[in-house]
Amino acid sequence: MPRLRLIEDSAPAHEPGSPSAFDVPLADGALDAPDDEQALDAYSRAVSGVAEQLAVSVASLRVQRQTRRGRVQSGASSGVVLTHDGFILTSAHVVAGNAATGSARFTDGRELRFTVEGRDPLSDLAVVRADGTDLIPARLGDAEELRVGQLVVAIGNPNGFEGSVTAGVVSALGRALPTRAGRGVRVIDNVIQTDAALNPGNSGGALADGRGRVVGVNTAVAGIGLGLAVPVSATTQRIIAALIAEGRVRRAYVGIAGGPRPLPPRARAETGAERGVEVVEVIDGSPAALAGLHVGDVIFELDGTATESAADLQRLMVAERIGRDATAKLVREGSVLELTVVPAELDTGRL
């Protein structure tokens, strides 16, 4: 039977009189307690660095709404400072309701009144403006540069605890988060999933990368260790700019509900397209109804751009298409057709 050998057995025996490790003098201060810098590992330094840099740019928002009894406190959330003169980014659901106003409290003790400049329920983003002129804006990053497993830091005010910091990693990218505004339904693309702890009150707060750049706006808790954030990207920044300039985001719509559907073999051979969006509902009086779209039609192209999913069609519904003719190519009962549809403006002003 083979005999197990302890690690110590492989070490040469110490001969009397020969120097050992215990005989070597230690350098001065070798046993001193480590200083603060030495005690922090790389992970801790990254998290604490982000917290120190970004905490001053994250506000605790206390929202009030108008009721029959007057203005009442309706919740607490978070916001990210965008500009020196008071523009703050938050979540649209945070400031939903009648004439929402409130106060923004900062880590330096200041508390400033704010009003809602604009909100966009279909991206779950909103901009409020605080009565201040010397705020410290956060740096915005680009969520397109994130990788799964990358360190992220969430800063917000969960359950009213101001300036709370949690850290985790990017658990997944490319998630889809459905949003609704009246009859309008949209999907927020490329939502960030993280295991950084998020709790009620974190909504509207910052999700930052290891360099302190805001790459997401915390929006939802989908379960323990499963938080979601709206990505900060070129699209997001256009929405923010529109909310600051106009107080709203203009979008086109055609008025259908649908889902992905493979094209039949004959249509695939004729068009070269593999799949499209099957129409499962046409809203009465909508541009789709006026154009003659039917339930069962499969739209595979709009103005030369392939539409393989409802998200593809949604991305084409930008403000520039409002009131302009668009050519929809579709398959109906095996035949390939072209229809002209004129997208209208999606009304979310009363939401």
Structure tokens at 37: 């810098």
Q: Tell me the C-alpha distance between 105 and 203, whole Å.
A: 15
Amino acid at residue number 279 = V
Q: Tell me the C-alpha distance between 338 and 5, whole Å.
A: 81
Structure tokens at 161: 């605890």
Q: How many residues does the chain have?
A: 351
| 11: DSSP letter | S
Q: Where are the beta strands (DSSP E) in the chain?
A: 58-67, 70-81, 87-90, 101-105, 111-120, 125-130, 151-156, 164-181, 184-194, 206-208, 214-223, 226-231, 252-253, 256-262, 275-282, 298-302, 305-306, 326-332, 335-341, 344-345
Decide: 328 and 265 in contact? Cβ < 8 Å. no
Handedness of CA 190, 195, 196, 197 (dihedral sign): positive
**120: β partners:** 125
What's the first-to-final CA gap in the chain, in angstroms? 79
Please list the active-site residues: 93, 124, 203
